[in-house]
């Protein structure tokens, strides 16, 4: 079935550093792709999405581009802040499965002042 793979391990970086979190997917057809963010003690918030190849999703300084040729949807931010510390999940929407979401394992991001 459809699946999402995120890079292993937490990400620790200094304030104003560049952030990249890798995400690759396996899917039948052309799913929509999402990044969700989970702040401590809270639920999942939609960060950005892309619905077709070459689409770029963006929000709050974060960006990700739907790359069909490499089946990837990497998340980037040019200058992180302490408030960006959270867990980030990559997900795809299975259009053949009533749009259920398949999630990656998530990456803990810690931004140090």
Partner 1 sequence: DSGVTQTPKHLITATGQRVTLRCSPRSGDLSVYWYQQSLDQGLQFLIQYYNGEERAKGNILERFSAQQFPDLHSELNLSSLELGDSALYFCASREGRDTDTQYFGPGTRLTVL
Cβ nearer to partner 1, comparing 70 with 98: 98
49-50-56 Cα angle (round to 5):
105
Distance separating alpha carbons of residues 37 and 21, to the nearest angstrom: 12
Query: Total residues at the site for partner 1 (CB under 8 A)?
Result: 23
- Residue 107 binds to partner 1 (criterion: CB under 8 A): no
- Which residues fall within 8 angstroms of residue 76, CB to CB, at 6 or more apart? 18, 19, 20, 21, 62, 63, 64
Give the SS3 label for residue 31: coil
What's the N-to-C CA distance of the chain in angstroms? 41
Footprint of partner 1 on residues 78-97 (CB under 8 A)? 89, 93, 95, 97
- Where does residue 1 rank: exposed (0-12), middle (13-18), buried (19+ CB within 10 A)? exposed
Among residues 22, 24, 85, 103, which is the contact residue for partner 1, using CB under 8 A? Answer: 103
x/- mask, partner 1, residues 45-84, rule CB under 8 A, reads xx--x-x---------------------------------
- Residue 34 binds to partner 1 (criterion: CB under 8 A): yes
- Residue 44 binds to partner 1 (criterion: CB under 8 A): yes
Q: Which residues bind partner 1 (CB under 8 A)?
A: 32, 34, 36, 42-46, 49, 51, 89, 93, 95, 97-106
């Amino acid at each position: 079935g459809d699946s999402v793979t995120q890079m292993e391990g937490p990400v620790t970086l200094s304030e104003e550093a560049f952030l990249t979190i890798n995400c690759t997917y396996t899917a039948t057809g052309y799913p929509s792709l999402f990044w969700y963010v989970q702040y401590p003690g809270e639920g999942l918030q939609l960060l950005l999405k892309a619905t077709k190849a070459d689409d770029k999703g963006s929000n709050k300084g974060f960006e990700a581009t739907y790359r069909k040729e490499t089946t990837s949807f990497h998340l980037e931010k040019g200058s992180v802040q302490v408030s960006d510390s959270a867990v980030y999940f990559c997900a795809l929407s299975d259009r053949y499965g009533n749009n259920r979401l398949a999630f990656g394992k998530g990456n803990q991001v810690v931004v140090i002042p």
